[in-house]
Structure 1
Amino acid sequence: MEAITRDMKYIQNFIDQLSEAVVLVAPSMNVAAVNQHFLELTEDAVFFKGKSIDEIVLRHKDGVDGTLLTAKGFISVKVSEGLLPVKEDFYRYFILKEQPAIVHSCQEPLLKTLMNIVPDFIGIKDGNGRFLFANEFVGKLFELPGFDFTGKTDADLAEIKPFFRDVFQYCIETDEQVWQAKEIVRCEEFVPARDGRTRFFDVYKIPVFNPDGSRKNLLVFGREVTEKIESRVLLEESEARYRLLAENAMDMITTHTMDGTYTYISPACETLLGRKAEELIGKSGYWILHPDDEDAARKGHEQLLEGPCTATVQFRLQHKEGHFVWLETSCKSIADDTGNVVEIIGVTRDISERKKSEEMLRQSDKLSIVGQLAASVAHEIRNPLTSLKGFIQLFQECEQLDAANYYNIMHKELNRIDQIMGQLLLLAKPQAKSYKKTSLRELVEFVETLLQPEALVQNVEIQSDLCEKLPLIIAEENELKQVLINVVKNAMDSMEKGGIISIEGKMIDDCIHVTVKDQGCGIPADRLARLGEPFYTTKEKGTGLGLMVSSKIMKEHKGELKFHSEEGKGTTVSMILPV
């Protein structure tokens, strides 16, 4: 600060030596210093302190000519400008060269003509508020075309035109405020129209004083800004409506910067997460995001940054009380005129109940599969049980029989029963989700073993042929088992007279394709497109939940189920999973 002060003293000494008026403007665009010639030109040492350059110099469209607004009136000037380094900042300097006065007796009619053709309010009053001049626009505005305003006050005009009484009364009040302030005042004034509308004006009022300090003239300039004001009012009303919607919506509405930082969060945040908006604004949501959901959230974020688009992501955020809440957010990225993303808007809702319902559906589907397997499993268990029963009866009848030869067979039969029950319980038992490296080869072998008893009952042969070098995938093993069981069972149900089901697995374009092909009756083309819809089924006693749950599981694994079928030839179902 001391260094800047030293620089300013040096600059002040320098500009005081110049023969033209100089104004030095700080980066804030407020006047920082003027030179001695400027003070002599304006005859006022304090009039400009703390003002912005736009309040004292009105630049014309060409940027070169301008009008200097001073306490004693207007001065026409030529304007040139440049930058001046002051320590770490750049100050802007304006050189104002005074132009000869244009008002001479022979030029006065020309000046009045010019003032009459401009579509702005121009008036000049004396120290007592009487009009010395008013251009034609003033007459048209107050429904007094051709009227001579000379010598009339606002109070007189209020009697002549009572419709505008409030306007003239307001002018009287603001005029007095300007005289008291002894400086240029900018204000908004309104004029009612006969059609019920209101016209708004941006008005400058400039007081001019005699050398003895008495009031001399009041210069009034007004430009109509009705469209601008109406647009601003409409915008404010629109913002108020949208804010009302946002702040009373059950869903949490948010806006983000490109890096994910919250810039606005609606009050629903407190209902969803137990946190006030102030706790999250200025931060991103990653610090309360469940670690398992980070990859999905970042992929969605990256997609939004690629250009204007929408993305829907499901994830869990930590409630203030410590537990995690399942949420679904639909986001839209907003781009500027150049196509660059500048903001992200999101609408987020609690889907905890939906997740519970989906889990119940999955469990229901599992139990349905277990029920369907019960008959064939019972048949498979009865065989070893019959053997065990026969051996026990044999031991009872032949006391001297050497039982050692039969123990190995009995042990194998018991293991067989244990294996079948273990697989059935593993399928039916609710388990916590656990994504881990999974071998699809082992998964197929498990399903093949589990369904083999039912396949034998239905005269179906299951053949599998998987590539030796199939890579491991990150998956929820039990869920993929559920999908494959559904697909294979559907294939078995489609073959009333039995046949062969072939399961193949191979790599295609960085994805593993597990295909299940049957020799069943096939599915008509008009029904094929509806597979996976809730409660839509092609089977007489089906629920339609199996394929719906299976499709949902595949989507959560970033994969998909594809169906190809021909009536009378069979159906091929492809489970496509990314590596």
Structure 2
Amino acid sequence: MKSKTDFFRIIPFLYVIIGPIWVIGTDYFLSISNFSDEKIVFLEKFNDFLFVLLTAILLFVLIKNLRDSKQIEEEKEKLSLLIDTMPDFISFKDGEGKWLQINKFGAQLFELEGIDYKGKTDKEMAKHTDFYHDALIYCIDTDEDAWKAGKVSRCEETIPLRDGSNKIFDAFKVPIFNNDGSRKGLVVIGRDITSLKETESKLRQSEKMSALGELSAGIAHEIRNPLAIMKGYLQMGQENTIKLDQHIDLLVNEIDRINSIVNELLMIAKPTDIIFANKNINTIVREVVQLFSIEASQQKTKINVTDLEQFNTYCNESKLKQVFINIVKNALEAISTNGEVNISIYEKNEKYFAVKIEDNGCGMEESDLQHISDPFYSLKEKGIGLGMTISLSIIEAHKGSIQISSQVNVGTSIEVLLPKLS
């Protein structure tokens, strides 16, 4: 488009040069020719007509080009007006990173109003502002990442403000290449998501407070029951309606129950540093099964282990044992007698293997299954309801997951996914 415009600009100059040459040249040619007077007169008129025709065509082309250029300028003004009224940061850079245009929002953000920024790089602009120096230099790196990616890239960029606050932008960078693969230009569009981030932060805080409220209610409920029992017995002892020494075991059991609740809460609230090592999962599972061999035999329940493959994983052996002990214990408690617990170890996909523990016990309702990981939610008469909560946190720390399915009077299946050792 630029070369075409330049061509039309030099046409008037060519006309000024070629016009006199045409007139003088044709007159000279006719003067030395041997044509008759009538033919010379005809050729002169034809020459004049041809000159006028070419002049008219030239004027038409020039006027049309002028009109097209005017329309282009009007469209550019409309586009610039549209870009300036947008509430987003928009800038255009050439293939060398030089600024071509920035909208009004961007100019105000970087305090560039009235400053000649065109043709300058971020590095050159950074020299003129101490306050935005680091932000502009950071843009150089993110721009280069977009060029190397060769496609639309997205990142979050934080721009400091003079009042001490920051603006966070969800930035899209669109690299444009020439046909030969060379860099042509870069379009940067940044949407201000500061308010969105603040809302998300408040929402997360609200969710934390809500969870804390539920946890506090659960703790109060679980501790209040044994405290009420202890208080009742102590009051009756004080009134001499009972002899306390005959109920010491009961009181100690209730104190142990409170201590157990507190200990499990501490495991969730302040988890200790977990030391990981390369361990064989088959060995860990078999050791857990061995712990329950006597209990299973007493209630006439079989625990079957199928090792399809040997898998190693990077884990904390003690923590994983705690998870499998909790699951197997729950499975045995779900079976009254003459049941089966089947444990299988197999490859889930390229990255994970699975340890599946299935029982044919009483199973759970769908409504209960949805709350299985909630703190203090238990279907057992004396259950605390923290076992699965702790198990989930341990498996998440191992970058794994737990999937649970259950049917009433059919049984429960728990699949623990753990990453393979690469």
TM-score, normalised by the number of residues in structure 1: 0.37
More helix by share: 2
Q: Which structure would you say has the larger RCO, counting Cα contacts within 8 Å and 6 or more residues apart?
A: 2
Is the radius of gyration larger for structure 1 or structure 2?
A: 1
When normalised by structure 2's length, the TM-score is 0.47
